[in-house]
């Protein structure tokens, strides 16, 4: 019987920790360099009002890409954990796909 191997999970979790730390550091630097509370005042003579608008700078798209990759790696880790637990239980790992597929399944089909 094959033994479960969680090394891939450990590697992903280490990567996620490193990526989170790096993203947090880059975001803090970005926040210090950008005025997140810039206010623009516009006078509109027709209704005779002043309009105040917050104009925060948008963060770089890279932040969203890295955050998406972090979420993907966490999901992949959970999938791998399910796979390895099925192996540890002595079952055929091909059946684990039903638990994470998009098709509808009854509880008895996923257990």
Query: What is the per-residue pLDDT for 108?
Result: 53
Residue 107 confidence (pLDDT) above 80: no
The whole-angstrom separation of Cα 30 and Cα 57 is 10
Residue 21 confidence (pLDDT) above 90: yes
Q: How confident is the model at residue 51 (pLDDT cuts 50, 70, 90)?
A: confident
Q: How confident is the model at residue 4 (pLDDT cuts 50, 70, 90)?
A: confident
Tell if the pTM clears 0.85, that is, is over it: no
| DSSP per-residue string spanning 24-51 | HHHHHHHHHHS-TT-EEEEEETTTTEEE
Domain coordinates in residue numbering, the chain: 7-110
């Amino acid at each position: 019987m094959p033994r479960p191997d969680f090394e891939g999970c450990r590697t992903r979790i280490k990567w996620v920790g490193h990526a989170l730390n790096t993203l947090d550091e880059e975001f803090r630097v970005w926040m210090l360099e950008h005025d997140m509370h810039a206010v623009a005042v516009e006078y509109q003579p027709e209704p005779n009002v002043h309009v105040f608008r917050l104009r925060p700078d948008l963060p770089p798209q890279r932040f969203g890409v890295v955050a998406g990759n972090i979420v993907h790696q966490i999901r992949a880790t959970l999938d791998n954990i399910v796979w390895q637990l099925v192996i540890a239980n002595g079952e055929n790992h091909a059946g684990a796909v039903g638990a994470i597929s998009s098709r509808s399944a009854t509880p008895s089909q996923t257990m």
